[in-house]
Amino acid sequence: MTNIQRKPWAPAAIEEQPVYQKLADYAAVLNRLGTNLAGLGLLVMTGLVMTDVIMRRLFNAPIIFADEAAGYLLVLVTFLGLSYTLKEDGHIQVKIIVDYISPKKRAFLKLLWCVFGIIFTMLLFVLTSELAWESYDLKAFSPTPSQLPLFPFQIVLPIGCLLLLLQLVVGLMDSALSLFSSGHLKNRKKE
């Protein structure tokens, strides 16, 4: 099992919860995989754009599909990095109010945020799955001269949504355990 770093406000007794710990461990492994794939996509995208610029400037022979593929790879990097960014609390936030409220209210806000996030992500998952399936079923290609197949790039959308959904469920469980366990709140006040 992996050792998951807890946020300062997360109760230590959560580690005693086997279901939570297993889910958090699975989410951590999948986040690492998604992040590695996103990093690889970023590397390929950078190399592709750099090669395109060199080919265009030096040999007047641009790579036809470079801009389009870079756009698809950007979506891959974004969607596969969402859950890891959430886990690391790296999304852009305005904390001017949240930093000044009690840990209990903060846990409640996070719980609400996770519920709304789960609803939105489930909807996004359904819609992106339908889009990817339709592209697969129709054997769709991009309407550009490069004629890239769309399915391999579009399947990343629902996969990224699943990773984000899993991390949101972990966050929801974390907030619920923090909020509804009185011992956790007492321990947190002592810290």
The pLDDT tens digits of the residues spanning 135-171 come to 999 999 999 998 999 999 999 999 999 999 999 999 9
Integer Cα distance of 150 and 183 in angstroms? 51
- CA dihedral 8→9→13→18, nearest 10 degrees, is -90
Q: Is the pTM higher than 0.75?
A: yes
Percent of the chain with pLDDT over 90: 70
pLDDT in tens, 62-115: 999 999 999 999 999 999 999 999 999 888 877 888 888 888 898 899 999 999
Residue spans of alpha helices (H) in the chain: 18-59, 66-87, 103-138, 151-154, 156-180, 182-190
Please state, in angstroms and rounded to a whole number, the distance separating the CA atoms of residues 131 and 150: 10
Which distant-in-sequence residues (6+ apart) come within 8 Å of 155 by Cβ? 132, 136
pLDDT at site 19: 86
pLDDT at position 99 is: 83
